[in-house]
Amino acid sequence: MFDIKGLIDALRRRAHDDEDAGPSATKLMAELPRDQTLLALTEIVKAVAELNRNAKVGLKERFRSVQSLDDKARPLMALLIGVYQGKATIEGIPPRQVLPSLIACWQELASAYKLCLKQHAQQPAARFASESELITLRAIAYYAEQARWAYLRHYEPELRIWRNLNHLFLIADSSDFSHKEIARYPEEAPCPIVNYYLLIVLFKLAEPERRRTEDLAFLNQILPRCVNLVRPEKIIRIREQNYAVNLDDTLPPVKLRRNMVGERYRYFDTEALATHFHSLSPHPLDSAALNPIDLALREKLLADLAVVYSRAGQTRSRRSERRTREAPASVALGLKQIAHALQSNATEAEWETWTLGDESSNGIGLHYRPGFDDHLEIGEVLLLRQDGHIGLTFVRRMVKHRDGQIQVGAEKIAPQAQLVILQANGQPNPAWALYCPESPHNSRMLLLDSDLYHRHNEYTLSAGQQKFRVKLGPAQERLPKYVFVTFQVLEKSNDPPAS
């Protein structure tokens, strides 16, 4: 049986510089069973946190201890990230359970390396000067990891993360080593500090609150290959740059304005990145081919990123003015739940209660507190009922908050939606669809599951006692699970009334 208590004692000894008593943590880590991975990482986090609280530890010993704990934590974190992403399994460790410990480890290690820099700044040591560049790299890498995983999960990074990212990059840039190639660990290829910083900058500028989880995973894969297309500049060129960041601030880069002048500002021109995404093929080179729906969504994503990163894209503005309107609202999510809510025998249990925050002529802003198994995604269909009116909307934005609230921005699609039934000739199973007599496309539309859609397919559409033979037209919008299409009525027939 593995001696977990011995491992805990060994980790604490490392933090207290009492290495000679008992077996070493390195030896115990080599014998660690897989099912103890999460517990071992939790104990490493506690050891790093204890070291960070101990102000009496000298710089040399602090750095040595942080390095040792970092080396032990990295293989555990790599395995647990695989568990969270579903690429690995460990009996007794569910994926949802690992992320808090991973985030805590990134936080404590980032703070630990930053404390080393703080001690060096207070009492500079010539023999430690060469190590300060490596420590800065590791610190900014762990803060970048926290920000990256926040964006991947539709969270905004905390202000302290951007404050530290900006401050550490300022240290490196002011000392002329931000572009120096440094190997973070012996087994990794050298990489400059600026690349870690730019990766998070580009993630933020990609407007992650508008991206599906699959799109964020694609950005996570593709953006590291694109950072060399962008470089922070110290001199403002208002007609050739489109973003700026104040490295003394706690905020990420924003659209460039003429009054953003000062030695602490850095400026970005992302036009080359826009051109790259405009020419990028949607077909993956290193994985299986995409199905037609996913291919259409990837093409849409690349076209939107080309706009977002372009200078012309900075002229985008809100289509209509928002008005604050705090009020409860009843919501049904997804076609299946909407179908149940619109049936004549539906009860109030079919509706969820959210809160309306603001509204414009084109959209609404809502917020709600999710349940345990909440799976809201960008592109979901949302039916809103308020004051006796029912309207169909599509979820376009989502930001999660650490207090449990989720903010949602939804675009108004149709002021009315009627539940209908579609049945293909020769197919025994009918399917639900939504008929919208009005839409932004100035035509009547159908919303149906994407699996049912093939252009020119013919269906029997049933609305109450009325039946129509319809032919589907071109898709006006493809969502992850649904298609919003025009249709043509080929034939109409009325069922005789029941006797």
What tens digit of pLDDT does each residue of 292-304 get?
Answer: 888 889 999 999 9
Long-range contacts of residues 386-390, Cβ cutoff 8 Å, at least 24 apart: 386/327, 386/329, 386/330, 386/356, 389/415, 390/416, 390/417
User: Which overall architecture, per CATH, does domain 323-413 show?
Assistant: Beta Barrel (2.40)
Mean pLDDT confidence for 382-395: 90
Residues 6+ apart with CB under 8 A from 399: 154, 155, 156, 209, 406, 407
Q: What is the pLDDT of residues 119-166, one digit of tens each?
A: 999 888 777 878 999 999 999 999 999 999 999 999 999 999 999 999
Rounded to whole angstroms, how far apart are CA atoms 130 and 140? 17
Q: What is the pLDDT of residues 23-49, one digit of tens each?
A: 666 666 667 888 889 998 999 999 999
Closest CA to 148 of 208, 232, 73: 208
Are the CB atoms for 414 and 392 separated by under 8 Å?
Answer: yes
pTM exceeding the 0.75 threshold for the entire prediction: yes
Tokens of 107: 């936080």
Give the pLDDT confidence score for residue 459 in this predicted structure: 92
Give the pLDDT confidence score for residue 286 in this predicted structure: 65
Q: Which amino acid is at 106?
A: W
Give the pLDDT confidence score for residue 246 in this predicted structure: 97
Are the CB atoms for 485 and 472 separated by under 8 Å?
Answer: yes
Average confidence score pLDDT of the chain: 89
Give, as one character, the DSSP assignment of residue 211: S
Answer yes or no: is pLDDT of 4 > 70.
no
Are the CB atoms for 98 and 144 separated by under 8 Å?
Answer: no
Which of 25-39, 406-420, 429-443 comes out lowest in average pLDDT? 25-39
Give the chain's length: 499
